[in-house]
Structure 1
Amino acid sequence: MGQSYCSLYVDAGYLLAAAATRTTGTSLRGGIDVAHAQLIDSLARQASADSGMPLLRTQWYDAAWPHTTSPEQRLIGALPMVKLRLGRTANDGTQKGVDLRLGLDIVNHARHGRVDRLYLVSGDDDLTEAVDEAQNLGAQVIVLAVPNADGLPHGVSAHLRQVADDVQLIDAAALDAAVRRRERPAVVPSLTAEPGVPTPAAMVARVAAATPRAPERHTPAAVASSGLVYSTETGGIPTGADRFVTDQGEASPEDIDIVCHKVVESWRSTATDEDVASMRRSKPSVPSELDRALLLDLSARLGNFFLDDTTRYQLRSRFWEIVDET
């Protein structure tokens, strides 16, 4: 009988958004600095130690803008025993093809007997069927979740929790050592160290300029679920059976103010004056990345994903008031 291996599958969108929430209080990835090699190594060590098996490989799934990859993605792709798997980022900032690649890899690796135990760092409900199929093919699938402030799994779908063989927490000390709050430099440069690669804040401004629109005014259908869930495709609030609905109270002005201040503070940590001016020109449209963070963070604060039109309007209006004050 051949050597048994484990393998690690990392949904970067989930991992970094959840880690940002743990570190800064908002899901904006641009608000954190990540020691990617250190973080990936700690996850690989945790998987290997838990399984008692050598790690075959780490697969890192993320999205990239057309015809470009970020310096961080190129660094990750060059790491030993790490395979970079990229979907694409659409003009509105949503991720496309990430969960499809991840799900296909899980099933294919299980089908060909490449690994006996798969460790999945994600909370996306869309991966439930892939996990179930991998199990039918004889593999074990363990979900590794980011711990929230209460030491509970952050943003893992109820369906995914039910199907997985186990849900474990990522080592909190290792996570906190590799992910730090991004501090605003004394002088904010207009470009990153590598010419031609925009800052996270500049990317947000570019999306805003490309897709101007008025604030959305619609009410999603209320479908009950049992938890706050991250979606790979949107990087934000889910739809369908995993929308979390409760009877908790409406958002207070204080709730809205706290969420908006945290999101703006996190975004401004990398934004130049030019970035701010560019985003202001897109007003009243809120860039998609920031809009998702506002909605997701307020929903998480309330424990309620059903935000009515009035709340959404107040949230976006307060966001612009705070931006204009900076």
Structure 2
Amino acid sequence: MTGTSLRSGIHVGYAPLIDALVRQAERISELSVLRVHWYDSAKDGVPDLQQQRIGELPKVKLRLGRFGMDGQQKGVDLRIGLDLVTHARNGAADVFILVSGDDDLTEAVEEAQAHGVQVILLAVPSKENKPHGISRHLIRAADGIEILSPETVDQTVAKVEMPPPSVSQLVAVVPPAGKPQVRPTPRDLAELGSSAAVRPSPVIVYSATTGREPQVTPGYEDPVELAEQIDSVVMNVLTAFRKSATAEALAELEDGKPSIPRDIDKALLTDLSDRRGEFDLSENVRHKLRAQFWKKYDEVP
């Protein structure tokens, strides 16, 4: 819908989406659906209003992980894996339709299959109607892979685009007449003390997950092709984010330099993996991708 996998760039109609997922699952399995397990993360494990509405839909069971200190999802993959294996062991269902491409679920799929069930992947389609963001290990482990109907995506997902600021909003940020904004000098900042420290330019790229500089090792990527792919992915994600982000989200991104928010970082990694056909990107490629994001952020208004 937006050319990226940035979650904040889309609005989803969850009720019709889940209805469509159920209908397609029943066609694939030729069985009646027992229930839908919907997995997500929530602050302190407490559902927000949107998650509450999803959990109240018929035949839907909400399963929530939490956010870690670094903003990453915690416990979601574990819940999926445990549910998959437990239901398979208990004979609760014969076929499981897994809407995920996460490599971390491969072992859980194989363990569930050992109890005599089928596990079929349902992948989100790319513009070329091919599976988007699916681990090759997971594909090899599963009993089959199907594509989510493109019509379902068209009917239940829409772009989010924030309106441009109004004239009154623009006027509000202009300094009053006779009081032009003055950039403080180094001496001014020194006199203010350490509390007014200047934010350094983001030269070192930090991982969104570790907060540490990655160990960059030489790779075997075609440098010209890789640079073009990285540049394209970065521009798509950055454009989608700026079109959909609120003023608060834009300020949060700016204030968080040089760290990249988890949703943006995930979109960058997912889209580049999809573009290159590689689920696991090297640290060298990740480093270049994140460095290019801040470079383009500063270059493109």
CA distance in 2, matches of 1:75, 1:154: 27
Give the drift of 1:187: 5.9
Residues 1:90 and 1:213: Cα distance change in structure 2 (over 3 Å): farther
Counterpart of 2:265, as a letter, is D
Give the drift of 1:256: 4.4
TM-score relative to the length of structure 1: 0.70
Residue deviations 1:73-125, cap 9 Å, x none?
11110101000001111232211111111111111111111111111111112
CA distance in 2, matches of 1:295, 1:279: 17
Give the drift of 1:248: 3.5
CA distance in 2, matches of 1:187, 1:30: 19
Q: Bigger CA drift: 33-42 or 298-307? A: 298-307
Structure 2 residue 79 is matched with structure 1 residue 101: yes
Greater Cα radius of gyration, structure 1 or 2: 2
Structure 2 residue 265 is matched with structure 1 residue 291: yes
Give the drift of 1:135: 1.4
CA distance in 2, matches of 1:213, 1:149: 35
Residue deviations 1:265-308, cap 9 Å, x none?
22223433343234323323332332333344344434463363
Counterpart of 2:295, as a letter, is R
Q: Equivalent residue for 2:106?
A: 128
Q: Equivalent residue for 2:214?
A: 218
Q: Which residue of 233, 251, 254 corresponds with 1:280?
A: 254
Q: Give yes or no for contact 2:37–2:62 (8 Å, CA) kept in 1.
A: yes
Give the drift of 1:220: 6.0
SS class of match (2:239): helix
Q: Bigger CA drift: 162-171 or 266-275? A: 266-275
CA distance in 2, matches of 1:303, 1:136: 29
Q: Which residue of 132, 149, 153 corresponds with 2:131?
A: 153
After superposition, residues 111-260 of structure 1 pair within 5 angstroms as: 111-185=89-163, 215-216=205-206, 217-219=213-215, 247-250=221-224, 255-260=229-234
Give the drift of 1:35: 0.6
Q: Bigger CA drift: 34-43 or 157-166? A: 157-166
Q: Give yes or no for contact 2:120–2:146 (8 Å, CA) kept in 1.
A: yes
Residues 1:319 and 1:66: Cα distance change in structure 2 (over 3 Å): farther
Q: Which residue of 284, 294, 301 corresponds with 1:317?
A: 294
TM-score relative to the length of structure 2: 0.75
Structure 2 residue 243 is matched with structure 1 residue 269: yes
Residue deviations 1:168-223, cap 9 Å, x none?
111111122111211223569xxxxxxxxxxxxxxxxxxxxxxx99523324678x
Structure 2 residue 79 is matched with structure 1 residue 89: no
Residue deviations 1:23-79, cap 9 Å, x none?
211121000011111111101111112222111100011111225423221111010
Residues 1:137 and 1:252: Cα distance change in structure 2 (over 3 Å): closer
SS class of match (2:35): strand
Residues 1:308 and 1:73: Cα distance change in structure 2 (over 3 Å): same
Q: Give yes or no for contact 1:299–1:306 (8 Å, CA) kept in 2.
A: no
RMSD (Å), alpha carbons = 2.8
Counterpart of 1:280, as a letter, is E
Name the count of aligned residue pairs.
257
Give the drift of 1:136: 1.4
Q: Equivalent residue for 2:275?
A: 301
Q: Which residue of 21, 41, 47 corresponds with 1:63?
A: 41
Counterpart of 1:115, as a letter, is A
Q: Give yes or no for contact 1:251–1:311 (8 Å, CA) kept in 2.
A: no
The unaligned stretches of length 5 or more in structure 1 are 1-22, 189-211, 223-244
Residues 1:85 and 1:220: Cα distance change in structure 2 (over 3 Å): farther
CA distance in 2, matches of 1:302, 1:158: 13
Q: Give yes or no for contact 1:63–1:87 (8 Å, CA) kept in 2.
A: yes
CA distance in 2, matches of 1:292, 1:250: 23
Residues 1:70 and 1:266: Cα distance change in structure 2 (over 3 Å): farther
The unaligned stretches of length 5 or more in structure 2 are 167-201, 207-212
Residues 1:159 and 1:272: Cα distance change in structure 2 (over 3 Å): closer
SS class of match (1:308): helix
